[in-house]
Amino acid sequence: MRLPCPWCGDRDLNEFGYGGDATLQRPADDAPMKEWVDYVFFRDNPRGSHREHWQHIQGCRAWIVVERDTLTHEITGSWPANEMVVAAPAKSEVTP
Amino acid sequence: MTHYSIFSLVKGALCGPGAWSPAWREPEPKAEYDVVIVGAGGHGLATAYYLAKEHGITNVAVLEKGYLGGGNTGRNTTIVRSNYLLDGNAHLYEWSMKLWENLSHDLNYNVMFSQRGVLNLAHSDAQMDAFRRRGNSMRLNGIDAELLDREGVRAMVPHLNFEDARFPIYGGLLQPRGGTARHDAVAWGFARAADSRGIDIIQNCEVTGIRREGNRVTGVETSRGFIGAKKIGIAVAGNSSRLAAMAGLRLPMESHLLQAFVSEALKPVIDTVVTYGAHHFYVSQSDKGSLVFGGDLDGYNSYAQRGNLPVVEDVITAGLSLFPNLSRVKLLRHWGGVMDMSMDGSPIIGKLPVEGLYLNGGWCYGGFKATPGSGWVFAHTIANDQPHPINEPLSLERFETGAVLDEKGAGPVPGHH
Ligand SMILES: Cc1cc2nc3c(=O)[nH]c(=O)nc-3n(C[C@H](O)[C@H](O)[C@H](O)COP(=O)(O)OP(=O)(O)OC[C@H]3O[C@@H](n4cnc5c(N)ncnc54)[C@H](O)[C@@H]3O)c2cc1C
Ligand SMILES: [Zn+2]
């Protein structure tokens, strides 16, 4: 398998480290425990299109997001990870 | 059903193939069952068998999308052991070990269970300490464990690399009752024994949906139509998340690919199971003479059932650093299976938050050895609508309560075993 690094082009799988599901949203620090449990342990784990983090460790070392089919390994997109960051949920007013 | 014995064997040998009848039926699905088990791997078939044998529940169907035993049960490297540190795991795997020890008799089917020992190698003082701790914990749980020093290991497996190894061998933890079994025979034996007790095994029948009324299951949609069910047990290994999604649930699990390898047949060279402690590699020798070995996951979510090349190179490099004398051996075949990697490395056997729906999954690398024990406790859970004390710690709720079973103490990563 080859992965398209947005900076370096198509590179061998061996050059990358895997970072897992890239769609997870870190909850606010004081979010209810249920949200934290979901975030830490639970996954959609789709058979099909999956957005995931990879790091080009043996190359430019950038973190990227790759969209890959988990059944066929077909790759349908890749982006610099920082372009895919979603704003963190605002902290509530409650102070611990 | 023919009882298998030395006499049936002699008769079969003399009378030719016509003397044998099929080992199980090919029934049409009924409109409704008391229990539907999804997945005819070892775990699903064992569950059905113990539902009939231990609980007298025989109005049961096992639905399989392909052919029985065609999933991970028929793809694994067949290592059986119960050398776990934590109570929750140790009790399950040891109960399973006890069932293995009488399984061929119980099923009237030779599963070729061979207690040739499982030897974990240690490559540092720290690792020896960790093994000593795990060995003591095992013995406290009534499980056999022996700590070997370097010479003890050499006496058992003399041709390991004791000369110039990058990671020298310090010793090892041996479980003498560990070993291997014939994977296909386990699926076939449970299938035959379940079928003979009246259970319908329905192959080429894919479950595509779970029907509910309120919060209670009423049956499954399948590629062969709707089949009613009062209770549904999910035992689909790497497809657990997909089945759970049919009931609107998510699981603490990812599906990853694990490869296995088989060499050409050799004369006897390794008479135990050896695992490398400094890299990931494990090997045994099959009765046909092939070396059966494996190593790391491919390393990314996958439902592909076929592996990539970097891991092939990686596993073989690790193997040769341990056994340099095998460098000329030719690889015969390799394949992959889709692993249900749970987030703490331990299985989940219990109720799901839908009435009548039960899960058996999250087996990571190690579900084959659990097959009889897992089926036994899962049958109990389904029959009584509550877990047996052995699988109570293996509930889905443990991820919320914090009572995770993290053998490695390495945090929530779906890569443990
Ligand atoms: C390469 C490899 C090496 C391994 N080595 C070892 C080892 O040495 N020791 C050990 O203890 N364990 C090992 N394991 C793990 C072990 O094989 C599994 O944990 C165990 O066999 C799982 O059994 P199962 O019955 O749960 O799953 P499976 O045997 O995979 O059975 C699940 C069945 O469900 C069916 N299914 C899936 N979706 C559906 C659907 N929608 N409808 C109907 N049917 C469906 C599948 O077709 C499959 O037949 C290894 C696994 C692999 C892949
Ligand atoms: Zn790059």
Contact predicate B414/B344, CB 8 Å: no
Which residues are CB-contacts of B212 (< 8 A; sequence separation ≥ 6)? B218, B247, B354
pLDDT at B367: 97
More confident residue, A86 or B198: B198
Q: What is the pLDDT of residue A22?
A: 96
**d(CA A87, nearest CA chain B) in Å:** 24
Strand partners, A66: A52, A78
* Residue boundaries of the structural domains of chain A: 48-83
Of B241, B251, B400, the CB nearest to A37: B400
Tokens linked to A3 = 């992965």
> Can you give the pLDDT at residue A89?
59
Mean pLDDT, rounded, for B373-388: 98
Atom of ligand 1 nearest to the CA of B206: 42
Q: Are B114 and B134 in contact (CB under 8 A)?
A: no
Residue B344 to residue B299: CA distance in whole angstroms: 16
What is residue B393's DSSP assignment? G
Structure confidence by residue, pLDDT tens digits, A20-73: 999 999 999 999 999 999 999 999 999 999 999 999 999 999 999 999 999 999
Contacts of A33 in chain B (CB under 8 A): 400
The verdict on B198 touching A (C-beta cutoff 8 Å) is no
Q: Nearest-CA distance from B339 to chain A in Å?
A: 12
> Per DSSP, what are the bridge partners of residue B257?
B338
- B144 confidence band (pLDDT: 50, 70, 90): very high
Mean pLDDT of B58-85: 98
Contact A45 B343 (CB under 8 A): no
Mutate to test the interface with B, among A12, A38, A41 (most CBs of B within 10 A): A41
In one-letter notation, the amino acid at residue B108 is N
Report how far apart the first and last C-alpha atoms of chain A are (Å, whole number). 47
Residue A88 pLDDT: 62
- Whole-number pLDDT of residue B118: 98
B14: Cβ contacts below 8 Å, ≥ 6 apart: none
- Whole-angstrom CA distances from B347 to A56, B56, B194 are 32, 26, 24
- A-B CB pairs within 8 A amount to 62
CB-based contact, B226 to chain A, within 8 Å: no
pLDDT of residue A96: 42
Using most ligand atoms within 8 A of CB, pick from B62, B64, B76 the residue to mutate for ligand 1. B76
User: B247 with B212: CB under 8 angstroms?
Assistant: yes
Neighbours of ion ligand 2 (CB under 5 A): A 5, 7-8, 56, 59-60
Is 70 exceeded by the pLDDT of residue A92?
no
C-alpha torsion angle, residues B342, B345, B346, B349 (rounded to 10): 10
Q: Is the pLDDT of residue B122 over 50?
A: yes
B45-59, B262-276, B309-323, B402-416: least confident range: B402-416
Res. B417: pLDDT tops 90: no
Q: Which chain A residues contact residue B242 at CB under 8 A?
A: 47
